[in-house]
């Protein structure tokens, strides 16, 4: 059968009229066909609407929502509120959702968040991750999800790229510096040492999170070291320990995975991934109380000084400079 010519096909669009009249399930349009001079035949096309989809298809759509739209979708209607919990979320996104709910129930958390809302600055989240990937090809997945989707109003004051490079405003951590806020539009990886005092000594790529007078916190990115990849480590400096050397005790010397110790106390506190670390930090805040203090931001760029005890100094060379003679000399010391 020959297809009708263009002159034999007329399209009459009724959707605008029906939307004006307020019909939610209005016809999207009508197609009038005149075939060989015969009687006109009308084909009605319904306007697509997500509520007309099968439940299984809606759940599939819900499963691909990022964290913020997924949470907001609970307020669309009662049907969605009942269906959304049945969507199969990515495991990391599910953990972030559970973390949001945990933080929501912590005493004083919301009040603390309001202290620094006015200081939040926008930054390109995808560019932040891409800039790190240009320096090292693998970023822990939990960290990538968190940067791209975590609500900025639920970020710890001293651990968010959109907050100033300055000391933490919370009284307990007044000396903690938000290194996360250092050059947020062009973040730089650092190089610290692993297997120190062994022939296998090497640099590993890390991101500096914050420093205070007692410790330095790093996110480890070395994909060739699965035992430490993706972990967040807090290196002690209370006894003059270097903030740029990751301890490597023998397995039999380890009591558990949370801390590595010697006779003088913990050399390192280790968290298995970024999300676990975030919840642990929030728990500390909730237990110790919160107090707002306004402090001026620091000028950039910051000075580099190897193993500097001051929280205001970058204590390790940049990862991109690891092959320079000055950096290689650090390994040979």
Taking the C-alpha atoms of residue 103 and residue 101, their distance in angstroms, rounded to an integer, is 5
Higher pLDDT, 310 or 86: 86
Give pLDDT, residue 24.
41
Q: Which letter does DSSP use for residue 172 in this model?
A: G
At 218 the three-state DSSP class reads strand
Residues 263-272: what's their mean pLDDT? 72
- Is residue 193 predicted with pLDDT exceeding 60? yes
Nearby residues of 84 by Cβ (< 8 Å), 6 or more positions away: 62, 70, 73, 74
pLDDT digit string (tens) for 47-81? 666 777 777 888 888 898 899 888 888 888 888 88
Between residues 191 and 211, which one has the greater pLDDT?
191
Q: Who has greater pLDDT, 302 or 128?
A: 128
CA 136 vs CA 37, 220, 224, 281: distances in Å: 69, 11, 12, 27
Look at residue 105 in the predicted model and tell me its pLDDT.
Answer: 79
Predicted confidence band at 142 (pLDDT cuts at 50, 70, 90)?
A: very high
pLDDT tier at 125, thresholds 50, 70, 90: very high
- Pairing of β 190-194 and β 245-246: parallel
Three-class SS of residue 5?
A: coil
Q: How far apart are CA 209 and CA 212, in angstroms?
A: 11
Instruction: Give residue 302's pLDDT.
Output: 84
pLDDT tops 90 at residue 277: yes
State pTM to two decimals: 0.78
Lowest mean pLDDT among 21-25, 85-89, 231-235, 282-286: 21-25
The token pair that represents 296 in the structure block: 């001026």
Comparing 141-155, 256-270, 311-325, the range with the smallest average pLDDT is 256-270
Q: Which helix (H) or strand (E) holds 62?
A: helix 55-62
Here the tokens at position 99 are 């973390």
* Least confident among 49-53, 99-103, 279-283: 49-53
Please, which pLDDT band fits residue 130 given cuts at 50, 70 and 90? very high
Question: Of residues 295 and 244, which shows the higher confidence score?
Answer: 244
pLDDT at 34: 56
Residue 172: name the closest of 218, 99, 112 by CA. Answer: 112
The whole-number average pLDDT for the span 202-222 is 92
Q: Give pLDDT, residue 294.
A: 61
């Amino acid at each position: 059968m020959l297809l009708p010519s263009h002159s034999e096909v007329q399209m009459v669009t009724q959707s605008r009229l029906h939307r004006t009249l307020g019909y939610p399930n209005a016809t999207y349009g009508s197609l009038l066909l005149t075939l060989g001079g015969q009687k006109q035949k009308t084909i009605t096309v319904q306007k697509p609407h997500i509520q007309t989809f099968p439940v299984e298809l809606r759940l599939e759509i819900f499963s691909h929502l990022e964290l913020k739209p997924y949470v907001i979708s609970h307020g669309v209607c009662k049907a969605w509120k009942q269906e959304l919990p049945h969507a199969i979320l990515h495991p990391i996104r599910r953990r972030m959702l559970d973390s949001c709910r945990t933080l929501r129930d912590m005493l004083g958390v919301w009040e603390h968040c309001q202290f620094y809302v006015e200081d939040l600055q926008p930054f390109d989240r995808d560019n932040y991750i891409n800039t790190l990937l240009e320096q090292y090809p693998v970023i822990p997945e939990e960290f990538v999800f968190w940067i791209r989707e975590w609500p900025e109003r639920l970020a710890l004051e001293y651990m968010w790229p959109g907050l100033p490079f300055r000391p933490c405003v919370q009284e307990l951590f007044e000396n903690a510096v938000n290194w996360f806020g250092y050059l947020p539009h062009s973040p730089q990886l650092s190089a610290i040492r692993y297997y120190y005092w062994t022939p296998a000594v090497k640099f590993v790529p890390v991101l500096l999170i914050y420093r205070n007078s007692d410790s330095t916190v790093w996110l480890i990115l070395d994909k060739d070291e699965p035992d430490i990849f993706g972990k967040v480590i807090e290196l002690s400096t209370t006894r003059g320990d270097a903030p740029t050397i990751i301890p490597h005790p023998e397995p039999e010397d380890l009591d558990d995975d949370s801390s590595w110790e010697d006779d003088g106390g913990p050399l390192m506190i280790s968290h298995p991934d970024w999300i676990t670390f975030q919840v642990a930090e929030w728990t500390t805040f909730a237990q110790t109380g919160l107090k707002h203090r306004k402090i001026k931001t620091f000028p950039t760029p910051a000075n580099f000084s190897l193993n500097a005890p001051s929280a205001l100094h970058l204590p390790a060379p940049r990862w991109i400079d690891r092959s320079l003679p000055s950096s290689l000399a650090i390994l040979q010391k």
